[in-house]
Amino acid sequence: MVIKRIVFSEGADERILNAASIISKQRIAKVILLGDIDKILGKIDKMSLDFNVSIIDPKKSENFLSYAEELIKLRKKHKLSFKDACRLLQNPEYFACMMLHSGDCDSVLSGAVVGTPEFLRAAFQIIKPKKGISKASAAVFIKLKDKNFLFSDISAQINPNAEELAEIAMLSAGTFEKFMKKKAKVAMLSFSTHDKNNEFADKMRKAAAIAKRKNPRLIIDGEVQVDAALVKEVSERKGSILNGEANVLIFPDINSGNISYKLVERLANAQATGMLIQGLKKSINVLSRGCNVKDIVDLARLAVK
């Protein structure tokens, strides 16, 4: 079996280094760290870590100039200059995404230090959506006791419309089934269940209808409240086809999605794994700045599947 290559753009972070040691020793992936080589080696020595790792300083890489030329081609419509391309590539997030674009790695993980918008800005400029996909979206797996859920979109699309939400729902169902090997049951969440006529509920209802029309085999309901999606008795009372068994939760906007997953993670002590960026041609994955070593290792496992 070919072991895939993961690039960590924040190579000097101690959580990344501890996780990289585990990832390497367990042969989850080949690890590539970006950053100042002496600084990273010094930290590895200080932390008494011993593992096989490649370290690349973007500013000194032999691929720097070729990446710059390719980045100019990718950003042709924006008339990116060679000077600006070189400036961008000194940013490890841009360099990592160019490695991925060029086939020099199989996945990129970032976000433990830089903010999610900064990383996604680089990713979306370089890694394009798959054919037939209009926009990428962000999903996170939530494990609560013995149940697994997927929450989306929690970080990429700020206020998607009905068509975009339908696409998010279909992508998310595919993500859940790929990793969980279980049938997805999708809830288009709102503050009402089949009984409100206003722009907020209508958006989720329309999104569910669009997704169902495009994929008739998809199990989906909306608009639906969280309790109707997750509790059998409430689901029956409110007339949801989900029977309280929803495992893919689609939120109407980034506010509700991001707040909800962090509430569940912190207050219910649930395990959150992700963010996985759905719909791109290559594997982009986002860490939270609040992540720990286990979070990084768990996301790395998903990233190379």
> Distance between CA 215 and CA 212 in Å, rounded?
5
User: Which tens digit of pLDDT belongs to each residue from 146-183?
Assistant: 999 999 999 999 999 999 999 999 999 999 999 999 99
Share of the chain above pLDDT 70, in %: 100
The CB density around residue 297, as the number of other CB atoms within 10 Å, is 18
Residues 6+ apart with CB under 8 A from 286: 109, 110, 111, 116, 119, 120, 138, 155, 274, 275, 277
CATH for 5-128+283-303?
3.40.50.10950
pLDDT at 196: 75
pLDDT at 151: 98
- Whether a cis peptide bond, with omega within 30° of 0, leads into 153 is yes
pLDDT at 199: 87
Domain residue ranges of the chain, discontinuous segments joined by +: 5-128+283-303, 137-267
Q: Which CATH superfamily is domain 137-267 in?
A: Isocitrate/Isopropylmalate dehydrogenase-like (3.40.50.10750)
107-110 vs 137-144, strand pairing mode: unpaired
Q: Measuring CA to CA, which residue among 112, 91, 86 is closest to residue 35?
A: 91
pLDDT at 197: 81
Query: Matching CATH topology for 5-128+283-303 and 137-267?
Result: yes
34: left (phi over 0), alpha (psi -120 to 50) or beta: beta
- Whether a cis peptide bond, with omega within 30° of 0, leads into 199 is no
* Residues lower than pLDDT 50 in the chain: none
pLDDT at 2: 84
107-110 vs 147-152, strand pairing mode: unpaired
pTM above 0.75, yes or no: yes
